[in-house]
């Protein structure tokens, strides 16, 4: 009888030691994607992704009940257009969030200082821009900490609350690790191919893509390396205001969610 029990326990240990890793999908890479908005009907990522993000305090859009927009930019490197973007934001009194890398911090510190001075949020886009699902927990934490520390060193922003994963790739594991570090993942519900610097198509291309996909509660993702975006932005902001939209900061969204959860 005792031998049977021992053999049973050994068999169970053998089974779980081989099956548990295969069954676990916690680090299965997810490449962010969604059904684009049309006719001001919100973009949709699907119930499964909606639930995963919600469970980990992440988001890609706000409620469709209010015509509010969240403007965000990804800054991997400087291409000469960020100052123009900042000029437009200042003139139109529009808040934005800039997700920056280590390269950007090192190569364009004056622009980072200006972002902070003019009231914009500086978010974390990682130091080396890796696929975060392919690095260890310790390395992921290091990637985030390096950006946070360097931002705090050169600006008055001493805390960092928002993360955009490089290339839009994440997993259940990376969501959880980032949340443990105090970060909210900010994905997006409006984007288009705007980062190809050798394939700029004119300001109208940028303008049309934004206006075609706009919807209440949208989180816009634009890249400041784009000449098209810099030239289209003044008209985009003015025309969206005419359509009844207002622009809010990510902090406003976060406060709203905290009130809802209480």
Residue 112 CA: distances (Å) to CA of 18, 27, 41, 121, 229: 48, 32, 34, 10, 19
Mean of the pLDDT values across residues 142-156? 97
> What pLDDT, on a 0 to 100 scale, did the predictor assign at position 26?
87
Sign of CA dihedral 222, 224, 228, 230: positive
CATH of the domain at 92: 3.20.20.370
Over residues 152-174, the mean pLDDT reads 97
Q: pLDDT tens digits for 57-74?
A: 999 999 989 999 999 999
Q: What is the pLDDT of residue 262?
A: 53
| Distant-in-sequence, close-in-space partners of 106: CB < 8 Å, separation ≥ 6 | 150
In a domain, 110, yes or no: yes
In a domain, 44, yes or no: no
Instruction: Note whether residue 77 is domain-resident.
Output: yes
Q: Which residues are catalytic?
A: 74, 223
In a domain, 248, yes or no: yes
Average pLDDT, the chain: 90
State mean pLDDT over 190-207: 97
Query: Percentage of residues in the chain with pLDDT exceeding 70?
Result: 89
Q: Is the model more confident about 16 or about 209?
A: 209
pLDDT at 213: 98
DSSP-assigned letter for residue 133: G
pLDDT at 261 over 80: no
* pLDDT cut 90: percent of the chain above it: 86
Confidence of residue 3 (pLDDT cuts 50, 70, 90): very low
For residue 108, is pLDDT > 70?
A: yes
Task: Supply the range of the domain harboring residue 256.
Answer: 64-261
pLDDT at residue 96 tops 60:
yes
pLDDT band at 13 (very low <50, low <70, confident <90, very high): very low
Higher per-residue confidence, 256 vs 95? 95
Q: What is the mean pLDDT of residues 164-183?
A: 97
Give mean pLDDT, residues 79-108: 98
Is 49 part of any domain?
Answer: no
pLDDT grade for 215, boundaries at 50, 70 and 90: very high
Q: Are 118 and 167 a contacting pair, CB within 8 Å?
A: no
Count of structural domains within the chain: 1
Structure confidence at residue 105 (pLDDT): 98
Residue 47 in any domain: the answer is no
pLDDT at residue 19 in the model? 27
Give residue-wise pLDDT tens across range 119-145. 999 999 999 999 999 999 999 999 999
3-state secondary structure of 23: helix
For residue 154, count CB atoms less than 10 angstroms from its CB and return exposed for 0-12, middle for 13-18, buried for 19 or more: middle
- 17 assigned to some structural domain: no
Q: Is residue 251 part of a domain?
A: yes
CB atoms within 10 A of CB 132: 25
């Amino acid at each position: 009888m005792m031998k049977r029990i021992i053999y049973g326990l050994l068999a169970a240990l053998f089974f779980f030691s081989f099956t548990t890793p295969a069954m676990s999908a916690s680090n299965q890479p997810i490449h962010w994607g969604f059904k684009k908005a049309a006719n001001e009907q919100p973009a949709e990522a699907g119930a499964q992704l909606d639930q995963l993000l919600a469970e980990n305090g992440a988001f890609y859009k706000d409620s469709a009940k209010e015509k509010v927009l969240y403007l965000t930019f990804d800054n991997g490197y400087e291409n000469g257009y960020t100052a123009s973007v900042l000029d437009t934001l200042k003139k139109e009194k529009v808040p934005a969030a800039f997700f920056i890398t280590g390269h950007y911090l090192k190569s364009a510190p004056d622009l980072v200082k200006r972002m902070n001075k003019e009231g914009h949020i500086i978010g974390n886009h990682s130091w080396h821009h890796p696929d975060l699902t392919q690095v260890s927990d310790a390395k992921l934490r290091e990637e985030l900490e390096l950006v946070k520390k360097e931002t705090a060193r050169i600006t008055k922003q001493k805390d960092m609350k928002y993360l955009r994963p490089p290339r839009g790739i994440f997993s259940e594991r990376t969501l959880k690790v980032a949340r443990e570090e105090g970060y909210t993942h900010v994905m997006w519900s409006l984007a288009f191919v705007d980062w190809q610097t050798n394939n700029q198509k004119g300001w109208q291309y940028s303008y049309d893509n934004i206006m075609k996909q706009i919807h209440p509660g949208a989180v816009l993702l634009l890249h400041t390396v784009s000449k098209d975006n810099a030239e289209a932005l003044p008209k985009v902001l003015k025309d969206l205001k005419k359509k009844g939209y207002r622009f809010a900061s990510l902090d406003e969204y976060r406060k709203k969610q905290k009130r809802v959860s209480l």
